[in-house]
Amino acid sequence: MSDLLSGSPADRVATPDAVGFFHPARRFYRFTILLFISLIVLGSYFAYDSIGALAPTLIEALHLNRSTIGNLYTAYSVAAIVIVFFGGMLYDKLGPRRASLLFCSLVLVGATIVAMAHARWELFAGRLIFGAGSESLIVVQSAIISRWFKGKEMALAFGIALTISRVGTLFSFNTEELIAQYFGSYRTALWAAAGFCLFSLLCNLVFNVMDRHGERLLSLPQPEGSDKIVFSDIRKFNSSYWYVVLLCVTFYSAIFPFTALATDMFHDKWGIPLVSETSGGFLAQIFDNFLHMFSTAPGITSIVIFASMVFAPFAGNLVDRVGKRATLMVAGSLMLIPAHLVMGITPWNPIPSMVVLGAAFVLVPAAMWPSVPLVVEEKRVGTAFGLMTAIQNLGLGLFPLLNGKLRDATGTYTATQIMFACLGVAGLVFAVLLLRSDKKHGGKLEQGRTRNRLLS
């Protein structure tokens, strides 16, 4: 495989022997910039799940009910619904560097307000600002990856980005409760989330420098401006795109609203402790908490993220090579149904079900997000990602609210788990329809690099 970016002017003026080791045309440069592209959302992933990781402590310390915890996630998604579509278009208008800096700054401001909050309205205000920046930043991240990797290792790049980004979620579930207990205050844990957001902003500055350098030497494609900010363009998306969107909203609604209160469920239903019993210094306790991750309630919640972190790059590489994107989405959607039902209606240990959810969370995103650039025109990729994420957040806003209300109304998590299993059924239907639609449109989603080489 060539070390030069496919389709760029650099292909015609440079060869691997003619440029330096850290030249933007090199594969090493491309994957180095991918590292910083991934780290710009690390803080937002950590801060997003800090509320769920601290849910039992926040419920007790602030005298909240489960509905309020769900509502804090809903506030995040309400802001995302309003702004994220425009976030995709702002990428088209502002370009990757200015757009990413804008949304990184909003993430930091929102997380800081949450950490400083002394009243419920301040918590909600912080989550609104945080949501406006965070989801738009993820849209921008996806469009940036497409910009640097289209025609190359795009699914692998998405897998690596997901792995690095979700380190934030893994650390959030496995350190936030420990931070709160060690320092005697949940507020210290929320400040840790804001600190991670500051780190992501600094990584964004590094990305800006590298992207500017690469753009100058490789003439990377520029956003084309106003023709992308036209609502009538939405009608040009075909049925395959819309089935991907519908699958996205049902699938993610069965994952993230579930994890918002999963720590509380594992602690409440199975009596699983919030932190591992250990002594020693703070870093020693963090290490021990990770070592015994699957014996704590937040750690079991993080199994889904842990599986994704470990296996997403391999799944992305597999998708690049063999395709079968729609087929993998069918398989992943099917896994959701028994996993949620078993946790809802049986007293069985939840770890096997969480492993199944983790496998689904590896397969579906690895196949779904790289599918978007394959089913829409290149000049509308930013808008397509923005619209998809905005609609996704309709579910991410509604189902945490329903999750908390059903738990408060019934006193158990049985009804909520049945609700999430039903979302799995809906996702399975949309995945099957996507498979049929893709066949009608030439089977692009099912093709991989291996097959394309045989056909060329």
Q: Give 414 or 447, the one with higher predicted confidence.
A: 414
Binned at pLDDT 50, 70 and 90, residue 189 comes out as very high
> Is a pLDDT exceeding 80 seen at residue 403?
yes
Q: Is 205 exposed, middle or buried (0-12, 13-18, 19+ CB in 10 A)?
A: middle
Q: How far apart are CA 222 and CA 227, in angstroms?
A: 13
* Predicted local confidence at residue 449, as pLDDT: 63
Q: Give 288 or 76, the one with higher predicted confidence.
A: 76
**Structure token pair of residue 59:** 């419920």
* Predicted local confidence at residue 9, as pLDDT: 39
Q: How far apart are CA 216 and CA 221, in angstroms?
A: 11
Averaged pLDDT, 394-408: 88
pLDDT digits (tens, 9 = 90+) for 330-365: 999 999 999 999 999 999 999 999 999 999 998 898
* Predicted local confidence at residue 227, as pLDDT: 32
* Predicted local confidence at residue 455, as pLDDT: 34
* Predicted local confidence at residue 276, as pLDDT: 79
Q: How far apart are CA 404 and CA 394, in angstroms?
A: 16
* Predicted local confidence at residue 313, as pLDDT: 74
CATH number for domain 24-226+235-455, candidates 3.30.360.10, 3.40.50.1450, 1.20.1250.20, 3.90.76.10: 1.20.1250.20
From 268, 321, 266, 316, select the one nearest 295 (Cα to Cα).
266
CA-based torsion, 260, 265, 267, 272: positive or negative: negative
**Structure token pair of residue 214:** 């690469």
Q: Give 103 or 160, the one with higher predicted confidence.
A: 103
* Predicted local confidence at residue 206, as pLDDT: 94
Share of the chain above pLDDT 70, in %: 88
> Is a pLDDT exceeding 90 seen at residue 118?
no
* Predicted local confidence at residue 19, as pLDDT: 59
* Predicted local confidence at residue 228, as pLDDT: 41
What rounded mean pLDDT belongs to the chain? 83
* Predicted local confidence at residue 317, as pLDDT: 79
**Structure token pair of residue 166:** 């979700």
Averaged pLDDT, 18-46: 83
Given a contact cutoff of 8 angstroms between Cβ atoms, the answer to whether 288 and 174 are in contact is: no
> Is a pLDDT exceeding 80 seen at residue 98?
yes
Given a contact cutoff of 8 angstroms between Cβ atoms, the answer to whether 273 and 296 are in contact is: yes
pLDDT digits (tens, 9 = 90+) for 258-269: 988 898 899 989
pLDDT digits (tens, 9 = 90+) for 270-304: 999 888 777 677 778 778 777 777 888 988 998 98
Q: Give 359 or 444, the one with higher predicted confidence.
A: 359
Averaged pLDDT, 236-255: 92
Given a contact cutoff of 8 angstroms between Cβ atoms, the answer to whether 23 and 147 are in contact is: no
* Predicted local confidence at residue 11, as pLDDT: 42
Nearby residues of 11 by Cβ (< 8 Å), 6 or more positions away: 2, 4, 5
Binned at pLDDT 50, 70 and 90, residue 225 comes out as very low
Hunting for tokens 């989330």 — which residue is that?
193
Binned at pLDDT 50, 70 and 90, residue 150 comes out as confident
Query: Within its chain, how far is the Cα of 325 from the centroid?
Result: 18
Q: Give 435 or 451, the one with higher predicted confidence.
A: 435
Given a contact cutoff of 8 angstroms between Cβ atoms, the answer to whether 91 and 388 are in contact is: no
Binned at pLDDT 50, 70 and 90, residue 221 comes out as low
> Is a pLDDT exceeding 50 seen at residue 229?
no
From 239, 208, 255, select the one nearest 73 (Cα to Cα).
255
Given a contact cutoff of 8 angstroms between Cβ atoms, the answer to whether 285 and 278 are in contact is: yes
